[in-house]
């Protein structure tokens, strides 16, 4: 498998799509919204994948893109919060490489999901903030006076990779659909229910319409998707809990990233292990 395919699979795995065409569509969606963040996604994926190759991590995991997607998110995340300069580029490289090391460590005991991205990006962001005193980029969020379910849902897909753009969100949905229709259906359900949950607990219209109530929910739904009613119930619970946790963490001032998805999915993953399926005899 050539390196370009490894990179595209890595990008695809951000939403659990082990498919080079899904990865390509994700990349197109990012570039549609921001060429700078598109480059950041590529750089982060190349660094994290290259680190895994250099350290001779399992070939099968590399081929499946499992050492790429956390680097993708780390690269985008750092340049989403800070201006581009020599320091932030170095931080991106360090963060992406670190995400690979954390991934290798965590996968020995628990499904890592995007925890390596969260941990490495938190470390980099707070180091830049409190040690190097670099300022965060100013938010350009608009004040909304009405709830728009279509905008909220489409942008929820984009926000999985920090893209507040409805067209990008639709491209991301298409990228899931071409690889796994069941996951696409669950993802749509999550975007809708996550946004409505945010509305129910009085999150601001601006926050909901920007897709910030749906992106963790989408990741939960895809990760836990299945064909049984039991799977549907677990997914529904995960969507609601991840949205509430997203709001709760946001109140503390923490940059939430995909931490709500990781925490809730870990909890439900464990609950599913200790909750046996009753057989009818």
Write the pLDDT tens digit of every residue in 10-60: 999 999 999 999 999 999 999 999 999 999 999 999 999 999 999 999 999
Q: Round to whole Å and give the CA distance between 116 and 257.
A: 11
Q: What is the average pLDDT across 160-164?
A: 97
pLDDT reported for residue 149: 96
Query: Are the folds of 3-130 and 149-274 the same?
Result: yes
pLDDT in tens, 85-122: 999 999 999 999 999 999 999 999 999 999 999 999 99
Alpha-carbon torsion (52, 76, 259, 275), positive or negative: negative
Give yes or no for residue 233 having a pLDDT over 80. yes
Residue 54, Cβ neighbours under 10 Å: how many? 10
C-beta separation of 110 from 65 below 8 A = no
Determine the pLDDT at residue 281: 38
Torsion from C-alpha of 24, 29, 34, 40, nearest 10 degrees? -40
What is the reported pLDDT for 142?
Answer: 73
pLDDT band per the 50, 70, 90 thresholds, residue 278: low
Domain extent listing, the chain: 3-130, 149-274
State the DSSP code for 201: T
Q: Which backbone phi and psi does 216 adopt, to 5 degrees?
A: -65, -35
Q: Quick count: other Cβ atoms within 10 Å of Cβ 14?
A: 28
pLDDT on residue 157 = 98
Supply the CATH classification number for the domain 3-130. 1.10.3430.10
Contacts 24+ apart (CB under 8 A), 22-28: 22/175, 22/176, 22/178, 22/179, 23/65, 23/175, 25/171, 25/172, 25/174, 25/175, 25/178, 26/161, 26/171, 26/172, 26/175, 28/171
Find the mean pLDDT for residues 181-205: 97
Mean pLDDT score, 157-167: 98
CATH number among 1.10.10.10, 1.10.3430.10, 1.10.3720.10, 1.10.15.40, domain 149-274? 1.10.3430.10
pLDDT on residue 139:
77
pLDDT above 70 (res 241): yes
- Mean pLDDT for the chain? 95
Which pLDDT belongs to residue 274?
A: 86
Percent helix / strand / coil, the chain, rounded to 5: 70, 0, 30
**Residue 277 has what pLDDT?**
56
- pLDDT value of residue 138: 83
* 182 φ/ψ sector (left φ>0, alpha ψ -120 to 50, else beta): alpha
In this prediction, residue 279 carries a pLDDT of 47
């Amino acid at each position: 498998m050539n390196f370009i395919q490894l990179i595209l699979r890595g990008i695809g795995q951000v939403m659990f799509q082990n498919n080079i065409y899904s990865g390509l569509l994700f990349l197109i969606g990012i570039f549609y919204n921001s060429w700078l963040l598109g480059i950041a996604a590529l750089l982060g994926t190349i660094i994290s994948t290259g680190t895994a190759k250099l350290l001779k991590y399992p070939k099968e995991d590399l081929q499946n893109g499992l050492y790429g997607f956390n680097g993708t998110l780390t690269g985008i995340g750092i340049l989403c919060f800070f201006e581009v300069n020599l320091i932030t580029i170095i931080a991106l490289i360090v963060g992406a490489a670190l995400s690979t090391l954390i991934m290798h460590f965590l996968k020995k005991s628990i499904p890592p999901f995007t925890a390596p991205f969260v941990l490495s990006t938190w470390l980099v962001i707070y180091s830049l903030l409190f040690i190097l005193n670099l300022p965060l980029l100013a938010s350009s969020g608009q004040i909304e006076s009405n709830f728009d379910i279509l905008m909220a849902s489409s942008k929820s897909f984009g926000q999985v990779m920090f893209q507040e753009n409805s067209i990008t969100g639709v491209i991301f949905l298409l990228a899931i659909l071409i690889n796994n229709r069941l996951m696409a259906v669950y993802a749509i359900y999550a975007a809708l229910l996550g946004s409505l949950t945010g509305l129910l607990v009085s999150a601001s219209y601006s926050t909901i319409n920007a897709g910030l109530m749906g992106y963790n929910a989408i990741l939960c739904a895809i990760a836990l998707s299945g064909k049984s009613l039991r799977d549907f119930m677990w997914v529904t619970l995960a969507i609601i809990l991840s949205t509430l946790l997203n709001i709760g963490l946001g109140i503390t001032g923490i940059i939430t990233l995909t931490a709500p998805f990781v925490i809730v999915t870990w909890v439900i993953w464990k609950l599913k292990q200790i909750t046996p399926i009753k057989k009818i005899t």
